A and B are shown apart, each in its own frame.
Chain A
């Protein structure tokens, strides 16, 4: 049973560019959340997708957008990259929206903006 997978592992982009990160949830999960983890910090919640809609959003600008596909996989898009967007981006999946079910994290995508 594959856990949460993310691609790519590493990514280097230039300031002003756009980037797309991908996440496949654990088998049987239908809810995907994205987190940004800056160096030396704890993960910060970006947003959550369920039934192909954004259900919750953290304190991130509109440059951060996402999508969920019918197979529950998800993308995180970041436009007009800033140096401060350099971070580890984590995806987490679970079943449903209630907090009772366990969440599983992927290994993350390391984004470097130069």
Chain B
């Protein structure tokens, strides 16, 4: 079974600085998707960024980028120029290419310090 591990329960960053959230996963599949979701206190899960495993190029969405290391099964999220609105719980998630079931990590709570 696929497992997703987030080893940083809590992280903090100064406003305008850069922070990196870590994620590792375990799978025997060769083709899959990886995601970072943001869950603010309002609870709605919001997609931050998505990576397709067969693409070697790291995904980027404005201030958010990933470092995808397929061989190492590592998928970290870098947030640049951190803003107060970035404060939330961040979940790393895995999904097979052939199915819809997500496997989530336990989350990293990000605090942004003004």
Q: Which residues of A contact B (CB under 8 A)?
A: 31, 33, 35, 40-45, 48, 56, 58, 88, 90, 92, 94, 97-100, 102-103, 105-108, 110
User: Whole-angstrom distance between the alpha carbons of A41 and B33 in the complex?
Assistant: 21
The reply to whether the CB of B106 lies closer than 8 angstroms to some CB of chain A is yes
A43: contacting residue among B99, B100, B102, CB under 8 A:
B102
Per-position contact with A for B94-112: 1 when CB-CB < 8 Å, else 0? 0111111111111100000
User: Whole-angstrom distance between the alpha carbons of A107 and B96 in the complex?
Assistant: 24
How many whole Å from B42's CB to the nearest CB in chain A?
A: 7
Q: Which residues of A contact B45 (CB under 8 A)?
A: 43, 90, 92, 105
Question: Nearest residue in B to A98 (C-beta to C-beta)?
Answer: B98
Q: List 21 A-B contacts (CB under 8 A).
A: A33-B101, A35-B102, A40-B107, A41-B106, A42-B4, A42-B105, A42-B106, A43-B104, A45-B102, A56-B99, A58-B101, A92-B45, A98-B98, A99-B32, A99-B96, A99-B100, A102-B50, A103-B102, A105-B45, A107-B42, A108-B43
Q: Which residues of B contact A98 (CB under 8 A)?
A: 97-100
Contacting residues of chain B (48-105) with chain A, CB-CB under 8 angstroms? 50, 91, 93, 95-105
Q: How many A-B contacts are there with CB distance less than 8 Å?
A: 65
User: Whole-angstrom distance between the alpha carbons of A40 and B76 in the complex?
Assistant: 20
User: Whole-angstrom distance between the alpha carbons of A42 and B93 in the complex?
Assistant: 9
Q: Which residues of B contact A (CB under 8 A)?
A: 4, 32-33, 37, 42-47, 50, 91, 93, 95-107
User: Whole-angstrom distance between the alpha carbons of A26 and B105 in the complex?
Assistant: 25
Q: Which residues of B contact A58 (CB under 8 A)?
A: 101
User: Whole-angstrom distance between the alpha carbons of A108 and B40 in the complex?
Assistant: 12
Extra 15 A-B pairs, beta carbons < 8 Å, given A94-B100, A99-B96, A99-B97: A33-B100, A40-B107, A42-B104, A42-B106, A45-B102, A48-B100, A88-B43, A98-B97, A99-B33, A105-B37, A105-B44, A105-B45, A105-B46, A107-B44, A110-B43
User: Whole-angstrom distance between the alpha carbons of A99 and B32 in the complex?
Assistant: 8
Contact A106:B100 (CB < 8 A) given known A41-B106, A42-B107, A99-B33: no
Contact A56:B106 (CB < 8 A) given known A105-B45, A107-B42: no
